[in-house]
Amino acid sequence: MDAVKKEKKNWEEKVLKKVLEKRPERKKYFENYSKIKIGRLYTPEDIEDLDYLKDLGFPGNFPFTRGVQPTMYRGKLWTMRQYAGMGDAEESNKRYKYLLKQGQTGLSVAFDLPTQIGYDSDHQLAIGEVGKAGVAIDSLADMELLFKDIPLDKVSTSMTINAPCAIILAMYIMVGEKQGVNLSQLTGTTQNDILKEYIARGTYIFPPLPSLRLTTDVIEYASKYLPRWNPISISGYHIREAGATAVQELAFTLANGLAYIKALKMRNLNPDDFAPRFSFFFAVHNNFFEEVAKFRAARRLWARLMKERFKAKNPKSMMLRFHAQTGGATLTAQQPDNNIVRVTLQALAAVLGGTQSLHTNSRDEALALPSEDSVRIALRTQQIIAYESGISDTVDPLAGSYYLESLTNQMEKQALTYIKRIDKLGGMLQAIERGFIQREVQNSAYLLQKKIEKEEEVVVGLNRFRSEEESKLEKLILDPKIEERQKKRLKELKNKRNKEKVKKALNDIKKAIHPAPARRSGVHKQENLMPVILEAVGVYATVGEICEVMRQEFGEYRESVSI
């Protein structure tokens, strides 16, 4: 047996020597869009450079490079979600029931623009926007209708809501209460990541400091009363969609996470009391191996930051659990069927990267709201990957790839360099206020667009391999009377509710807020607003009414513009 092993080793050494003799010079590489150096070839010689044996470890163990659970998908598949919400609560309820029948295992709620920025459907700024980008939710009555006949103790719900997150979560809690569901049984996620709104998405209402207060109020409340709820989903997705590179998405997302940890520590809270329920949200774009490496680097870097900076003791505090969504910005209106292929590759990268939850975009989302046929194909994409590809048979099947480990290491190092630059600026809040993060993203977006225009970055069907044929996909058209119907429902609610109770509840919120604090001071000394918001929601105060009280006390944020 020893002789056989010796002969095999000699043979392997000879093969390796021939490979290395023929290998191009090590210095020959190119730099991709994320400024990652890509070599022509990777071999076992790179092990010394990569040092991956030391950091690779095992799944479920620090630093979690290979996954947050020892068995990953062998034990349980990722949650399959489809981001959905259109028109009013009644229409969206029908879509949710359809998706659940098709095998979806979690709901993801999209809210319309007025709801996201704290206006009721009857506000003049809501005209023409009611129910367009998602479902219109004005009051608890709408939330009751949205989840009618959907048991909240059996369904995990993710809600993409930020500035009015405390109000929407309060409504969800009240619906659960009316269904007889205990707080400890509610499972799901509220996005609640307000800092990224100032960077990329723009659906903020209040200035950063009071917004941060509301975000931490939700996290603090959930840590005490909602043991199975993820009170924040720190979101790189929107930063990436705005034009950031994969490295920037990784760095800025984790830097936002650090800012929330610091704010909660100011309340004298121990990270081990709330960090285990932190979740993250990343985009998945087309560079397959780069995306897989990004997720692995994110886990490893977050674990180290939590252990070294915040002295976390609980392993769950160091686990980066994340939801992924295929890249909306990568979809093209031209030749939309090509988007099915893009989404498949992106979904595959997310799964191989170890996601806990996944949304696959529909082929027609560059044209309009997705049709039922397109949504079904998107969901089937996940199911085929899960049940037919064999990817879930083993944990972290790409681990040890010389190329992948090189990408993982480079992404971690470059992301950490960004985080240190942000530290020098005083933290993420200050970096955002100075416009540093916004400029970095804008510059990357500009450079990418120039590359696409010059065909240095190929987008099939857009700047190369074009076709003159127009899309024949059926577009989903919303009922034009939705806005009128929503306003009527809201008017009826306001007429029949107890006006005195509403008035008192809104006044209680005002008193709990107190005058806006001095900058950078006193966040930990302020009253948590969740209890008074719950009271207001329970007597059917609306999103717009509650946000108006906060506008009066906190003020509104106006982004500075420079030319």
The string of pLDDT tens digits covering residues 453-501 is: 999 999 999 999 998 776 677 666 667 788 999 999 999 999 999 999 9
pLDDT in tens, 325-347: 999 999 999 999 999 999 999 99
Closest of 100, 98, 120 to residue 111, by C-alpha = 120
Q: CA–CA separation, 44 vs 19, rounded Å? A: 10
Q: CA–CA separation, 17 vs 543, rounded Å? A: 69
Antiparallel, parallel or unpaired: β 106-110 and 79-84: parallel
Stated length of the chain: 563
Asked if the structure places residue 390 within a domain, the reply is: yes
Residue with tokens 């093969």: 15
What is this structure's pTM? 0.89
pLDDT in tens, 35-56: 888 888 887 666 555 555 556 8
Q: How many domains does the chain have?
A: 1
- Joined together, the tokens standing for residue 558 give 């106006």
Confidence of residue 524 (pLDDT cuts 50, 70, 90): very low
Antiparallel, parallel or unpaired: β 156-160 and 106-110: parallel
pLDDT in tens, 261-272: 999 999 999 999
Parent domain of 434: 55-453
Percent of the chain with pLDDT over 70: 90
Percent of the chain with pLDDT over 90: 75
Q: CA–CA separation, 551 vs 34, rounded Å? A: 39
- Among the residue ranges 161-175, 364-378, 408-422, 531-545, the one predicted with the least confidence is 364-378
Q: CA–CA separation, 103 vs 456, rounded Å? A: 40
Asked if the structure places residue 253 within a domain, the reply is: yes
49-53, 156-160, 415-419 — most confident range = 415-419
Asked if the structure places residue 134 within a domain, the reply is: yes
Asked if the structure places residue 19 within a domain, the reply is: no
- Joined together, the tokens standing for residue 153 give 């103790």
Element (H, E) at 496: helix 482-496
pLDDT of 55 reads: 61
Asked if the structure places residue 549 within a domain, the reply is: no
pLDDT at 157 over 80: yes
Q: What is the CATH number of the domain that holds 109?
A: 3.20.20.240
Confidence of residue 98 (pLDDT cuts 50, 70, 90): confident
The overall longest dimension of the chain from CA atoms, in Å, is: 91
Asked if the structure places residue 91 within a domain, the reply is: yes
Asked if the structure places residue 519 within a domain, the reply is: no
Confidence of residue 252 (pLDDT cuts 50, 70, 90): very high
The answer to whether the CB of 93 falls within 8 A of the CB of 146 is yes
Asked if the structure places residue 493 within a domain, the reply is: no
- Joined together, the tokens standing for residue 289 give 């191996």
